[in-house]
Chains A and B, each alone.
Chain A
Amino acid sequence: MSRFFTAFVALVVSAMPALAEGLPLKVVVAGETRVVSMEELESIGVSGFRTTTTWTDGAQEFTGVLLSDIATANSVSTGTVIVKAINDYQAEIELAEIMSAPVLLATRMNGERMSVRDKGPYWVVYPRDDHPEFADERHNFKWVWQVDSLEFK
């Protein structure tokens, strides 16, 4: 499945490169900032699920990289991750939470890249349909969209 998606993403990226241009993701680990391109990010491994959200009509298919995979790729397993948005909005997520559930840093919705106007290019998506414990609006503040940086602490 993920291979199919990888191949699919590669195809789409090559077809529409403009959308995510100029908006690289900053990953801060132990105070050190590294800028990661979407391709680099997705090379960690792409996952996906279908879920409803508070901000969309009906369930959507999201794909992207699991926050747990990103943490593992950066050799982080404890602490918190502060997710910041382009407009300076930020939310702090317990690493324990993302390590035990497939929380996605989505790069696509319904197979398509997301523009800033559509909460792209990165959107933290919780699997609220598969995991009813997240189907609570108390978790809504962590659905950070237009993500600019991930800071592991």
Chain B
Amino acid sequence: MSGRLSEFMALARYGFLALFAVLLGFTANAFIELGDVQNRIRYRIPENTIWAAAQTEIELARTLAQLAPLAAGNRAGSGPSLPLQFDLLWSRAQLYRSGALAAALQSQPGVKASFDRFQADLTNADTFVKPADAGDREAALRMLELLTPHREAIRELTMTSLNNDRKEREELSRNHDLLQQQLSRFGSAAAILLGFLLLYLLFSERRARSLLNDAKSAQAQMQKAQARSEEQASQMELLARKATTASKAKTEFLAMMSHDIRTPLNAIIGLSEIMNRDETDARKRQYIETILRASDSLLSLINDILDLTRLEAGKLSLSPGEFSPEELVREVMDVTEVLARQNRNAISVEIDPDLPAALIGDRDRIRQVLMNLVGNANKFTVNGRVSIQLRCKRRRTGVVTVRFSVCDNGRGISESLQKRLFQPFEQGEDSRDARGGSTGLGLAISERLVRMMGGSIGLESEPGKGSTFSFELDLAFAEATSAALPNKAKQELNLAGLDLLVVDDTPANLLVAESMLQRLGARTVTAASGEEAVEIAKQRRFDIVVLDVLMPGMDGPTAMACMRDSGMCADAAFVAMTAYSMPKDKARLIQAGFDAYIARPVRMKQLGSALAPLLAQLSGPREQVAPAPEAVVSPDGSIDLELIRSMAEDIGEETFRLLVNQAQVETEQALEKLEVSVSNGDREAVRQSAHKLAGLLGQFGLIDATNAARILEAKATTSALDQTLPDMRDIAIRGLSALRARIDQERVNPHRIAA
């Protein structure tokens, strides 16, 4: 439609232009013609007609005027002589015989005839000029007779010329008017056309302008939209940044919170452990155990949150090492057994015989995942079976794909829940009711940990029939036997004979750390501030200095620097103690010059693993008292559990209890005897008593006490005994009470002596 219209418009436009051109041509032609006519009017040749006629008439009149007196017999008047006057007249007549006038006469035969007659009479008259001029009247009369009749004819010629001229003028004028009319008509038409054209152009221009305006406004709108979208994008970016910042803030908040909760928790757990150890009242012990359980669950919650936080921040790093899968599974079983027993589940373990005895991986993380899966299986299965399977799926050179699976025949998991089970804070509908509670983080953490280790957790489940969680990991392995594995627990233990300075501004924490270190056999001195510690270190040498990092006044690193610079502790090993537990914090502290690092809450095991590497560097009696290689040590490091377990099995529980009582009595006696010997200065007696005591204590698996006794024995002949003996005595008594505690905790399951 619009195409046709525009075609028509184009055609109309061309038509207009053509018409305009034609009219312009006509106008121009008319204009040129008009100019020509005007020229003709302007340059008409007056002398050719009127002028020539009038001049002829004048000359004739003058000639007649000259002749008249001559004919009357008088003298001629003034003016030229007759011959000259006649010549002038003659020359006028001659004008009509040649040139333009002669041509003009051709068209007027009447006039020409009268001129011819005039010429003939002039010729006749010419013969009388000389006589007439000489005074011949007859000649003059004759000339008058010849020339006078032509006055009328010449007069008529003049009038005719005038009339002709007027007619010509009129005609020209008419032509002129016609041309002018034509011109004005064409001009008007052209002007109108031009007007149309201008209107059209104006309209076109306005249309173009409006189109341009439309385009401009469209462009402006587009720009506006673009600006809006850019603004939105930047707002979204801002929101995203805010969200990221918020997420970061959340992470930092959680880390802070964990720190803040861990500090009091440190005191609660540590002191509860000590109280539990020393408490003999069964009811109170029950309360303390409840406190410990609650604290443990709170601690695991904090650890879970911290783990997830680190995982999400990408700050969790793996620390692979060599481990025994068999031992790992056993540990998991041990730990989760309480729950298994509560829900009356039978736990079975199945380990592929092809699986290498030693694998390389992050043992703690794998244990964490397995612990979570087995814990869940026990939690949601009642009167059922839980089985842990380790399958060797593929074995290549140095690498084995291990499939860990945890099977139960419990309530199972609905399909909808399966999909979001690995999301943080997702829980089974009734898991809150389950005993032990749940943070909902366990599976999320496990899933991320497994992913981080290069595997993925799979789940097969059917409600009512049970669930199977499994994950596969590619693990390197070493062709080694489990016996060759270093047992961290064994190395954690003995600080007997070492002097430790413990510095912490929180009295409860100080007490916990001190107690634990003492439990490990160390002789401890405490300081409540960095300044105090530096003062003490000037007077006394210590093997190890344990420093709280954050203290009011002088902080841990500063105190360390001071002690290293001066005093007697320049060679000591420095251990940092802090509730910050991100790997980078550790790295920072090690960089600051600390030899080791203990994360809070301080537990025996951590103390051991932190301090064990230092012991090798320290000289002293430590090397002489290495425990038996096969020993399985209690978490506090003072009792050889394997030994007492086998003793209890061998001699029966009741007898064992009696023996322990007996041992306590004997030990007390031996200690009294030692005191006497020491006060008497009888070194040999001391040596013998100590030897005897070491044997007694060693019999009951009291490792620390035994070591202390051996130290005493070794030192008996050389060193001052006043200080060594009380320490030794404390160690022995503590070891005995710990042993009693273990026996009291003993459960039906012979494998569950230690929790």
Contact = CB atoms under 8 A, between A and B. Distances in A.
Given A54-B45, A137-B43, A137-B45, A87 B100 contact: no
Interface in A112-139: 115-119, 136-138
B227 to A, nearest CB: 75
B88 A57 contact: no
B99 A115 contact: no
Given A136-B43, A137-B43, A146 B88 contact: yes
A56 interface: yes
Interface string A52-71: 01111100000000000000
Interface in A134-153: 136-138, 140-141, 145-146
B90 A117 contact: yes
Q: Is the interface of A mostly helix, strand, loop or mixed?
A: loop
Given A86-B84, A87-B59, A87-B88, A117 B43 contact: no
Nearest to A136: B43
Nearest to B59: A87
Interface in B24-64: 43, 45, 47-48, 55, 58-59
A56 B98 contact: yes
A146 B100 CA distance: 19
A54 B100 CA distance: 6
B98 A55 contact: yes
A55 B88 contact: no
B105 to A, nearest CB: 13
A118 B91 contact: yes
Interface in B370-414: none
A83 to B, nearest CB: 16
B87 A56 contact: no
A140 B80 CA distance: 25
A86 B94 CA distance: 17
Interface in B95-113: 95, 98-102
B45 A115 contact: no
Contacts of B90: 116-117
Given A86-B80, A116-B84, A140-B47, A55 B91 contact: no
A54 B102 CA distance: 10
Contacts of B58: 87
A145 B101 CA distance: 16
Nearest to A137: B43
B99 A116 contact: no
Please report whether the interface of chain B is mostly helix, strand, loop or mixed according to DSSP: helix
Given A138-B43, A140-B47, A146 B99 contact: no
Question: Which of A57, A116, A145 has most B Cβ within 10 Å?
Answer: A116
B294 to A, nearest CB: 133
A132 to B, nearest CB: 15
Interface residues of B, number: 20
A86 B88 contact: yes
B88 A56 contact: no
A110 to B, nearest CB: 13
A119 B43 contact: no
A118 B98 contact: no
Contacts, number: 45
Interface residues of A, number: 19
Contacts of B91: 116-119, 145-146
B46 to A, nearest CB: 10
Given A87-B59, A137-B45, A55 B95 contact: yes
A148 to B, nearest CB: 10
B566 to A, nearest CB: 127
Given A87-B59, A137-B45, A54 B87 contact: no
A140 B87 CA distance: 22
Contacts of B95: 55
A140 B84 contact: no
Contacts of A138: 43
Interface in A94-125: 115-119
A2 B362 CA distance: 137
B59 A53 contact: no
A85 to B, nearest CB: 9
A47 to B, nearest CB: 24
A45 to B, nearest CB: 28
Nearest to B81: A22
Contacts of A55: 95, 98-101
Contacts of B98: 55-57
Interface in A39-55: 53-55
Contacts of A140: 45, 47
A54 B99 contact: yes
A90 to B, nearest CB: 14
Nearest to A23: B84
Contacts of B48: 54
Nearest to B89: A117
A141 B101 CA distance: 15
A53 B99 CA distance: 8
A3 B671 CA distance: 178
Interface string B154-187: 0000000000000000000000000000000000
A57 B102 contact: yes
A137 B59 CA distance: 24
Interface string B129-164: 000000000000000000000000000000000000
B87 A57 contact: no
Interface of A: 53-57, 86-87, 115-119, 136-138, 140-141, 145-146
Interface of B: 43, 45, 47-48, 55, 58-59, 80, 84, 87-88, 90-91, 94-95, 98-102
26 contacts: A53-B99, A54-B45, A54-B48, A54-B99, A54-B100, A55-B98, A55-B99, A55-B101, A56-B98, A57-B98, A86-B80, A87-B55, A87-B59, A115-B87, A116-B84, A116-B88, A116-B90, A117-B87, A117-B90, A118-B91, A118-B94, A119-B91, A136-B43, A140-B45, A145-B91, A146-B88
Pairs of residues from A and B, 7 with the lowest C-beta to C-beta distance, nearest first: A116-B87, A55-B99, A117-B90, A117-B91, A57-B98, A137-B43, A117-B87
